[in-house]
Structure 1
Amino acid sequence: MSADDSSDRVPHDPAPEPEYVEEPVVPQLSGRQRAFAFARGLFRLRIEQSAVRVAIVGAVFLGLFSLISGRLIYLAVMPQEPENIRRFASAASVAARPDIIDRNGEVLATDVRMVSIFAEPRNIIDKDEAVELLTAVLPDLNAADLRNKLNLRRGFVWVKREVTPREQAEVHRLGIPGVGFVPESKRVYPNGVAAAHVLGFANIDNVGIAGIEKYIDSSGLQDLNGFGFARQANDLKPVQLSIDLRIQHAMRDELVKGMAYFRAKAAASMLLDVTTGEIVSLVSLPDFDPNNPVDALEKDRINRMIVGVYEMGSTFKALTTAMVLDSGKANINSTFDARSKLRYGRFSIGDYHGTNRILTVPEVFLHSSNIGTAKMALAVGVEGHKAFLKKMGQLDRMRTEMPESSMPIVPARWGDLNTITIAFGHGIAVAPMQATAAVGALLNGGLMITPTFLKRSAEEARAKAVRVIKPETSEALRYVMRLNAQKGSASKAAVPGYFVGGKTGTAEKVVGGRYSKTKLFTTFMAVTPADSPRYLFVTVYDEPQPTPESHGYATAAWNAGETTGRILERIAPMLSVPPRFDPPKNPFPLMARLGAWGTR
């Protein structure tokens, strides 16, 4: 092809390269963002979205209609009780409490159904008229207080708690809108003052305030009530106590007579089963009626067996005697010189009724020799003495089902002089029940059993018992206590047929930092039968006065001892210990083999 031909041809441009266009990046949306975008698109005024909007609005209205219909049906079927009534009433009024029964099934405390009047201030139109009408049929109401309550911006207030059926009927006839009734449980005590200090009481809201009633709440009743499981007494198992109501009545009757006769400031008595640790009876005077427990708040209404702490006097000599025998520092035939006073620094220790001679261990106990007992304690030593009393539960607070208890008062510094005085019951103050539990262990074979107010068997008690002294030491204590009832200060309680053993204790009270010769705290302990103990009786008097028969004395034998004898004689037929009018043969075999004083 020539050059001319090539010039006539239309030139062909090379094919253009494809142009690269970058695609836009679509951001990834979260679930919340997608839902928001859908909702925004849904409510745009676009015709294609209207059907969806109508469906959603219809579903919402259908749900609301169903909810309202269901509520109306519920209110028609269920009792018409406004929500605020249920809420406030359940917080203030309450569920049932279990019955409390004695060891024989007699009812000591139970619930009865009562009605209380409430008001809903927000629903009362004319509050002045309501006050006028209510105070007319309930004259004991304070009009000013009631008006103040009704003026509160609350949904619920109490008008009057625990009204009578007549009062309920009269208020009902008034027909005041916003005033109604709530059923409640009221605690009642059919036997009045009997066992008041043991039972304690419940307040107007049926909450346990003291005694066994408070123990029941602390044992889970409040939790049951909170979860709504205890609405009636039948929902709960009765609480069975170790108390015997028959013995309780008899013991209180004798103690009331004795307190009046001996013109004492206060008195208390209890009966302990030394084989189980059960408290069969406990009375403390002055007492109160738990149905109207306003008197319980007075300071002299304490439970003197548990809350009061006292120097126990010569009853502590039982502990000292057991300590020296169990330690091996002395035996039943050992002797102690009581011919002269025991001097320690500027202090001088003497005997109340001195014999001024050398005494055997049984004679020290029989004559209640302070000198001989102090020398027993010194033979063991300060540290041994402290360890023994610790083991016997005298240095720590006693814990039972009773919420109320007191800590013993013990010396901050404990030296020889403290051991001397504590040996015969001065210089340390304990609750009488504490001392009783310790003496019970000395008599029952040597097992420390914590006292209980709940019924339990001997097997259950032994499973938790702790051995504190040897069995032969326990026999020695039974022997000297029996000897004291035969020949010593415990003779006033030696009721024929019951082989009684006993020990008196008279302590001078501290007044103004000094021991008073005229203000005494007296104690008497008696065990029956002494050869095989079952029951330990304890009676105390606070500041008893002399009587014409006592020749000017106000010591324990003349008051606490005499009252204990009367109590034992009266209630012994109710106990499971039959009388034996012929004394047992060889009741203390080990003591006889050792040739103890008084067995020869």
Structure 2
Amino acid sequence: MTLAQESTSFLQVRKTRPRPAHGSVSASAVKSRVYLAMAAFAMVYIAIAGRLVVLAQMDEAPSSAWISAQDSVSASRPDLVDRNGEILATDIKTASIYAEPRRVLDVDEAMDGLLRVLPDLDEPTVRRRLESQAGFIWLKREASPQEAEAVHNLGLPGISYLSETQRFYPGGPTAGHIVGSVNIDNQGLTGIEKYIDKSWLSDLREAGFASDKTMEPVRLAVDLRVQHVVRDELAKAMERYRAIAAIGIVLDAKTGEVVAMSSLPDYDPNDRSQALEKDRLNRATGGVFEMGSVFKSFTTAMALDSEQVSINDSFDATRPIRAAGRTISDFHGKNRILSVPEIFIYSSNIGTAKMMLAAGIDRQQEFLSRIGLTSRLNTELPENATPLLPPKWNELAAMTISFGHGISVTPMQTAVAAAAMVNGGVLLPPTFLPRTREEANALGKQVISPDVSRAMRYLFRLNVLSGSGRRSDVPGYTVGGKTGTAEKIENGKYVRNKRRNSFLSAFPMDDPRYVVLTVIDEPKPVPPSKSATAGLNAGPVAGAIIRRAAPMLGVMPRFGEGSEPIEVSY
């Protein structure tokens, strides 16, 4: 067969093949559908595999919220200890119960179990949060070990607990205002706790070096034994004199260390909600008050330091002073000429005002600024109030300020300034942390001459021997001090039957080691007495503190000494 014949035959064969029937599918179309079905199944399997991978990762790597919560509850804080190593604050382990709603299989089942072991949960809120499909939620912070174990035994998917670091204060309220408190995430809110965070602990946390790590304790200058004595005596005083508040401070006159500080009513830092109650504020550093006649100590020192007044001078206190339509008189006036020591021990407003005028109003303002009574005092505690000064420092204001009215300062400022009056004239910034005498000397500022300081020690001691401070004396300790009875202001007027009494003291007066300040707010008379002046309450409380605390501080009594005023040459 020729090539032409073969071609003709092939075309004939092609023509004789039957065509596909209408509606039938070609082989290529069938193949396309098979491939499409295979692709669909592959995509389903890939989706399932992807979901399994995600679930596996959820089991192995918790959410970022969970990790953040774990870091928060495990963050450590250093122990706080007193000057003798006694623990004031430490970390303990508790539990925090949480849920991962995305992993909760049955919300109803979870709610039934949780309410059985944690009946105090808010059911509508918790149910709403469990249905939210969130990554992480807290159910209860600071749970008890029994509660954590009960939740664990429920065996509910997506619900468990973390080991948590919680702050614990073994002494409860004893030093509450000093150590301060922390929030539920162990971050400092008040007191030394906040100071530590602000100084270095927050930075350490941000760098990741504070999680579940043991840190060196932070030692404070506070002596827990003396702190207990101060608080105990203040509590007894509030009960005895039916007072509404009380303050006590023990300050090292040589170093500026705060050995004890208590403000009642106080609070237990283990129950941080108490710190929000307004009556429990730290009055020692966070409140400002007219301190009354204890301010005469500063006016006397100012007048002597000005060299315009000598300790041998006298001033006429026979008649009240009239100024700007106001009358300044004495509480128990002698109605005669008084020497400077008599003005001090009889607490003469008239004599004190005249001493101030002899020195000068400008000098008074400069002197009070020099000893730190016109500006905010800085301490490690964040609770430091700013003094309230008169809007116009005119003659009337200057005269009332001279005897402790018309200017409001914190009790801590008063104690710090008093230390300078008796320690040789050196103003030392206060501190709640340990400080050596060498460090104190480098920080000290000479504000009055040693001779004036010696004269002030003489006057303080004389007032306890012969003046309003007699009930504060402690045999063997040569206590010296000045009383202050300040009427309180209500609706812009002084109220005669409401007083804030104080006693500013130091011991031993031949070489003062410690300043003790006591304040009793609104004391009532103790029958049969009808009076409630500072010499009858704040003074005896200071004496009781000194009697109990002095041996703890290493100051031993010297009997047979101190019956006469210390010598002074001026």
Tell me the TM-score normalized by structure 1. 0.83
| Distance in 2 separating the partners of 1:523 and 1:587 | 23
Q: 1:433 maps to which residue?
A: 412
Q: List alignment gaps of at least 5 residues for structure 2.
A: 1-49
Match for residue 143 of structure 1 among 115, 119, 123: 123
After TM superposition, give the deviation of residue 167 of structure 1 in Å. 1.8
Query: 2:249, 2:415 within 8 Å by CA — same for their partners in 1?
Result: no
Contact 1:475/1:588 (<8 A) preserved: no
Conserved? CA contact 2:247–2:520, under 8 Å: yes
Contact 2:341 2:459 in 1 (8 A): yes
CA contact (8 A) 1:215 1:403 kept: yes
SS in 1 for 2:310: coil
SS in 1 for 2:95: strand
SS of the residue 1:371 aligns to:
helix
What is the alpha-carbon distance in structure 2 between the residues aligned to residue 233 and residue 322 of structure 1? 52
- One-letter amino acid of the counterpart of residue 109, structure 2: E
Letter of the 1:515 counterpart: Y
Q: Check conservation: 2:315, 2:351, Cα contact below 8 A.
A: yes
CA offsets per residue over residues 252-303 of structure 1, 9 Å max, x none?
Answer: 1111111011011111111111101111111111111111122221111011
Q: CA deviation at 1:127?
A: 1.3
Shift of 1:92: 4.2
User: CA shift at 1:80, angstroms?
Assistant: 4.5
Q: Report the counterpart of residue 486 of structure 1 in structure 2.
A: 465
Counterparts of 2:68 and 2:158, CA distance in 1: 14
Q: What residue in structure 2 maps to residue 348 of structure 1?
A: 327
Q: After superposition, where does 1:73-84 map in structure 2 within 5 Å?
A: 80-84=60-64
Amino acid corresponding to residue 558 of structure 1 in structure 2: L
1:511-535 Cα shifts (integer Å, max 9, x gaps): 1111110010100012100010001
SS of corresponding position for 1:503: strand
The aligned residue for residue 560 of structure 1 is 538
CA distance in 1, matches of 2:216, 2:519: 35
Q: Does 1:288 align with 2:267?
A: yes
In 1, Cα distance between the equivalents of 2:62 and 2:133?
17
Question: Residue 85 of structure 1: CA displacement?
Answer: 5.2
Displacement of 1:129 after TM fit? Answer: 1.3
Task: Indicate the SS of the match to 1:385.
Answer: helix
Greater Cα offset, 136-145 or 400-409: 136-145
The structure with the larger Rg is 1
Structure 1 residues 493 and 587 mapped into 2: Cα distance closer, same or farther (>3 Å)?
A: closer
Does 2:482 align with 1:503?
A: yes
Deviation for aligned residue 1:346: 1.9
**RMSD of equivalent CA atoms:** 2.0
| Alignment correspondent of 2:398 | 419
Q: Deviations over 1:453-507 (max 9, x none)?
A: 1111111111111110100000000000000010011111110000110110000
Check the 8 A contact 1:531/1:587 in 2, yes or no.
no
In the TM superposition, 1:81-230 aligns within 5 A as 81-84=61-64, 86-90=66-70, 92-230=72-210
Partner SS for 2:489: strand
Residue 574 of structure 1 corresponds to 552
1:138-192 per-position Cα deviation (integer Å, ceiling 9, x unaligned):
2222211211221224201011112222222221122111112222210000111
Rate the CA distance shift 1:468–1:363 in 2: closer, same or farther, 3 A.
same
Give the Cα–Cα distance (whole angstroms) in 2 for the partners of residues 135 and 585 of structure 1. 72
CA–CA distance in 2 between the matches of 1:217 and 1:302?
A: 21
Name which of structure 1's ranges 132-141 and 410-419 shifts more when overlaid on structure 2.
132-141
Q: Deviations over 1:527-586 (max 9, x none)?
A: 10001000111110111111114x211110111111111111122221121110021699
| Percentage of pairs with the same residue | 49
Report Cα offsets for 1:180-222 as digits up to 9, x if no partner.
Answer: 2222210000111110111111111101111111111101111
Q: Distance in 2 between matches of 1:298 and 1:168?
A: 31
Alignment deviations for residues 70-91 of structure 1 (CA, whole Å, 9 cap, x no partner): x99x99xxx9452435433146
Separation in 2, partners of 1:85, 1:397: 42
Q: Which one-letter code corresponds to 1:224 in the other structure?
A: L
Runs (5+) with no aligned partner, structure 1: 1-67, 595-600
Report the 3-state secondary structure (helix = DSSP H, G, I; strand = E; otherwise coil) of the residue aligned with 1:306: helix
Structure 1 range deviating more: 170-179 or 310-319: 170-179
- Cα distance, 1:93 vs. partner? 2.5
Identify the match of residue 406 of structure 1 among 385, 388, 400. 385
Distance in 2 of aligned mates of 1:100 and 1:565: 30
Aligned-partner residue type, residue 404 of structure 1: E
Amino acid at match of 1:343: R
Matched-pair contact (CA < 8 Å) for 2:82–2:221: yes
CA offsets 1:281-340 (integer angstroms, 9 cap, x no match)? 111111111111222211110111111111000100000000010011011111111121
Deviates further, 402-411 or 570-579 = 570-579
